Chain A
Amino acid sequence: EAGVAQSPRYKIIEKRQSVAFWCNPISGHATLYWYQQILGQGPKLLIQFQNNGVVDDSQLPKDRFSAERLKGVDSTLKIQPAKLEDSAVYLCASSLTRDEQFFGPGTRLTVL
């Protein structure tokens, strides 16, 4: 079975620019998650989708971050405008049940 796919793998931008990340979950997984992992820290949940709907976005900085999940499958996470402190790895995960989450390879963002 194919895993969670993410693109791009790496992105370097200047502060105040915008950037978007894409995630394709494992086929059939209704739940999709976006995590932010700052260097040296554990991942922190930004947003959780159940099919098309948002379940939890309490830790999403909504003034600059937005996310959508099209037709309950692919998802995009956008940052506009980016700040230096947004430099991190952005991880996408999906799950079929509450039991286990499967993670993609991540997108490493560097904001200069």
Chain B
Amino acid sequence: KQEVTQIPAALSVPEGENLVLNCSFTDSAIYNLQWFRQDPGKGLTSLLLIQSSQREQTSGRLNASLDKSSGRSTLYIAASQPGDSATYLCAVRPRWETSGSRLTFGEGTQLTVNP
């Protein structure tokens, strides 16, 4: 059974700092990994999707890496801003279609960026 862990559970940083959020998963047989952002009381917004054959993806100030063999992904946020404050979730999709397309989520990292 796939398990996804995110560290740290919460993070508070001053504005402008570069930061790294960590995600680990127990079963390396994944199809892809997706990072989401969730604002309080809102749904999930997809940030980055990394296919199992890829090593990283970049979008603006965000960079996500994937090391499938070690079961790890990191989300790097450059020059953080107060508007980045949210909960960040990572989720993995199984390789085999017989397992459906179920996303297995971590519990998230709650990020606060202080002005």
Contact = CB atoms under 8 A, between A and B. Distances in A.
Interface of A: 4, 6, 31, 33, 35, 40-45, 48, 55-56, 91, 93, 95, 98-106, 108
Contacts, number: 62
Interface stretch (B11-19, B67-75, B99-107): B99-107
Contact of A105 (B4, B34, B42): B42
Q: Is the interface of A mostly helix, strand, loop or mixed?
A: strand
A42 B107 contact: yes
A48 B107 CA distance: 21
Contacts of A98: 31, 93, 97, 101
Contacts of A40: 107
Interface of B: 4, 31-32, 34, 36, 41-46, 49, 51, 89, 91, 93, 97, 99-103, 105-108
Given A99-B49, A100-B49, A45 B42 contact: no
B97 to A, nearest CB: 7
B101 A48 contact: yes
A100 B41 contact: no
A104 B45 CA distance: 9
Contacts of B99: 56
Contacts of A105: 42-43
A93 B46 CA distance: 11
Given A42-B108, A103-B45, 7 more contacts: A42-B107, A43-B44, A43-B89, A55-B101, A101-B46, A105-B42, A106-B42
